[in-house]
Chains A and B, each alone.
Chain A
Amino acid sequence: MEDFRQRIASRVAKELKDGDVVNLGIGMPTMVANYISEDIEVILQSENGFIGMGPIAKEDEIDKDLVNAGGVHVTARKGATFFDSATSFAIIRGGHVDITVLGALQVDEKGNLANWMIPGKRVPGMGGAMDLVVGAKKVIVSMEHTAKGKAKILKNCNLPLTAKGQVNLIVTEMGVMEVTDKGLLLKEIAPNISVEDVVNATEASLIISPNLKVME
Chain B
Amino acid sequence: MSTTRQYLDLDTVKKRWAPRVRRAKRMWSRFTTHKMGVLGVLILLTFILMALFPGAFTRHSLEWQAYLGTDNLRHTAAQRETLPHPPAFGDPFWAPLGTNQSGQSIWTLIVYSADTALYIGFAAGLLSSLVGVPLGLIRGYYGDTWVDGLIQRLVDVFYGLPFLPFLIVLVAIRGVSTTNIILGIAITSWLNQCIIIRGETLSLKERSYVDSAKVAGASDARVVFRHILPNVLPLTFVFLAQDAATAILAQASLAYLGLADFTTISWGMMIQNIQSQGYVFQAWWWLIPPGLAIAAIAAAFYFIGYSMEDVTNPQGT
Partners in one complex: no
Task: Please list the residues of chain A having a beta carbon within 8 angstroms of any beta carbon in chain B.
Answer: none
